[in-house]
Amino acid sequence: MMKKKTFPWLRILVHLFGVLPLARLGIDALAGGLSINPIQEIEQRLGRAALYFLIASLAVTPLTTLSGWRALAPRRRALGLYAFLYASLHFTVFAAIDYGFDLVEIGRLVVEKPFILLGLSTGLLLLPLAITSFDLFMRKMGKRWKKLHRLVYLAGVAVIFHYALAKKGDLFALQGDILKPILWGVLLLCLFILRIPAVRRGVSAWRQKLTGFPVSRKQTGRESPPEAGRAEDPARQDGG
Amino acid sequence: MKTKRQPAGIPSSEITPKSLYLSRRDWLKMAGIVSASSLLAACGVNPNDPDEIGTGTPAPDVPNTFDEITHYNNYYEFSTDKQAVSTLAENFKSTPWAVEVGGLVHKPRTYAFEDLLKFEQVERIYRLRCVEAWSMVIPWNGFELNQLLAEVEPMSSARYVTFTTLMDTEQFPGQKSPFYPWPYTEGLRLDEAMHRLTLIATGLYGEVLPNPNGAPLRLAVPWKYGFKSIKAIVKIELTEVQPPTLWSTIAPNEYGFYANVNPEVDHPRWSQRTERRIGETGRRDTLMFNGYGDEVAGLYAGMDLGINY
């Protein structure tokens, strides 16, 4: 796949964004911009980066539906893999630096703290998606690959609750420092709604009426059977 | 009292004799020159007792720097971002300032900030343990709240003291957020408020209390989680019933009225067993009553601290 790189700049852009959080961490570490509690700052920044990329990867299909611009689709895998990269780094800093590999304490946290369990679950959900993100697995697993990669929806939900419960306040009582998690949650919900087959078809029809153009299929560069039988199949997720 | 483990050997208080008190610059010098152990007299943790020292941090309590204390603040009236507070608080107007003291007292009165300076001013180096599981060591200046309360003469029916922060959405942009029951209120039982460790802080490192720390006056209750130590106080009211407090209103299952530092009482979010001392990489074990048990444990004799968290 990717023989024809119709939009190399899009690919470059994704990778530029992909390394941006790491570059910023590096620059701030050198310039002393990591606050007086640097471990927490690094940990939280990595976590936020993972969240951003996970949501971005989940936004690709809905954005394609909305815009009809299918060049976005092949960028999903990189976005998903960046999400996994930052989630892994986030966990590594938590376990290795914050808690100094104190496995007993970490184990107790996982058992006792719902938000820690949710964070760990998100990571564990992303792990098989990252492993099977290669073309080889995609080909070999066929339909099972799509099924497996639907786990990314669960990961999306888990990460929102991980984030919301890590904030001071009460999400369910709408009290405290919960505005940002709620906004991310609403965004994710919108993205999910756009995947509902009926909504998706409706939006496509509406867009085509508006622009006069159907989804351009020539620019996708992959997935030879374009959303035929299961046009609404939302599960074409790479890497998570 | 329901505590599985009482840390042994904690000095009874963190009171610093006036003679020991040094200016900020001297502190910094001292931290470099004087060996850590000689600071223990002032600051209080026995580094040789393995029970008290967290993983990888054999260091004693050393005051955090002025810069650290003024650039890492939970002050939601300005921002939920601890590092944004110092900038946002730059232009906060803390003069003139008045504090209304009333409720169940015989002599209610409104104090101008300057009037409060007539109370005996002391310097105290207190540990501050945030419920978010980080901690600092802070040299406060201020006066014991009991002096003020004695002057207004609480009625026999008074059992609690309520504190209220200034409500001013112009100065406090965070107070525009609908997710909090502004203004910030906090409360203490009267005996807690009368305790000699309970301080009204008006200064830091010998300087006027900086804006990010709650200028011009804030509470400093060292054996309770930091959120009890309310900032920018404009009202002190004595009541018969336990007052609602901001955080216990928002999430009653997370934040109790007492909020005593207690490694045995779990919080749904942060483990309270350990803490990160700002400036250190490892974690320390959290001490019962933040290490002030000898002084304050008696206040809670017979109480189940698992229920009254």
Reported pTM: 0.78
Query: Mind telling me how many Å the CA of B152 is from chain A's nearest CA?
Result: 35
Query: Mind telling me how many Å the CA of A47 is from chain B's nearest CA?
Result: 16
**Nearest to residue B284, comparing CAs of B56, B27, B30?**
B56
Query: Mind telling me how many Å the CA of A239 is from chain B's nearest CA?
Result: 30
Does residue B134 belong to the interface with chain A, where contact is any CB pair within 8 Å? yes
Does residue A210 belong to the interface with chain B, where contact is any CB pair within 8 Å? no
Give yes or no for residue A137 having a pLDDT over 60.
yes
Lowest mean pLDDT among A15-19, B39-43, B165-169, B219-223: B39-43
pLDDT in tens, A41-56: 999 999 999 999 999 9
> Which member of A39, A108, A115 has the closest CB to residue B281?
A39
> Which member of B72, B179, B180 has the closest CB to residue A36?
B72
Highest mean pLDDT among A160-169, A230-239, B46-55, B198-207: B198-207
Q: How confident is the model at residue A171 (pLDDT cuts 50, 70, 90)?
A: confident
Beta-strand relationship, B98-103 and B233-239? parallel
Does residue A38 belong to the interface with chain B, where contact is any CB pair within 8 Å? no
Give yes or no for residue A208 having a pLDDT over 70.
yes
pLDDT in tens, A103-124: 999 999 999 899 999 999 999 9
Which residues 78-117 of chain B have a CB within 8 Å of chain A? 80, 82-83
* Measured distance CA(B74)–CA(B86) in Å, rounded: 10
> Which member of A98, A165, A170 has the closest CB to residue B250?
A170
Give yes or no for residue B106 having a pLDDT over 90.
yes
Q: Look at B55 and A165 and tell me if their CB atoms are within 8 Å.
A: no
ipTM (interface predicted TM): 0.72
Does residue B300 belong to the interface with chain A, where contact is any CB pair within 8 Å? no
Does residue A111 belong to the interface with chain B, where contact is any CB pair within 8 Å? no
Q: How confident is the model at residue A4 (pLDDT cuts 50, 70, 90)?
A: low
What residue in B sits closest to A178 (Cα-Cα)? B179
Partners of residue A114 in chain B, C-beta under 8 Å: 268
pLDDT in tens, A75-92: 999 999 999 999 999 999
Give yes or no for residue B303 having a pLDDT over 80.
yes
Q: Look at A173 and B250 and tell me if their CB atoms are within 8 Å.
A: yes
The pLDDT of residue B105 is 98
- What number is the average pLDDT over the span A169-195? 91
Q: How confident is the model at residue B1 (pLDDT cuts 50, 70, 90)?
A: very low
* Measured distance CA(B146)–CA(B195) in Å, rounded: 7
Give yes or no for residue A237 having a pLDDT over 70.
no
Query: Mind telling me how many Å the CA of A183 is from chain B's nearest CA?
Result: 14
Give yes or no for residue A2 having a pLDDT over 70.
no
* Strand partners of residue B207: B204
What residue in B sits closest to A100 (Cα-Cα)? B282
What residue in A sits closest to B174 (Cα-Cα)? A177
Does residue B250 belong to the interface with chain A, where contact is any CB pair within 8 Å? yes
DSSP, res A97:
I
Does residue A178 belong to the interface with chain B, where contact is any CB pair within 8 Å? yes
What residue in A sits closest to B134 (Cα-Cα)? A37
The pLDDT of residue A68 is 86
Q: Look at A102 and B281 and tell me if their CB atoms are within 8 Å.
A: no
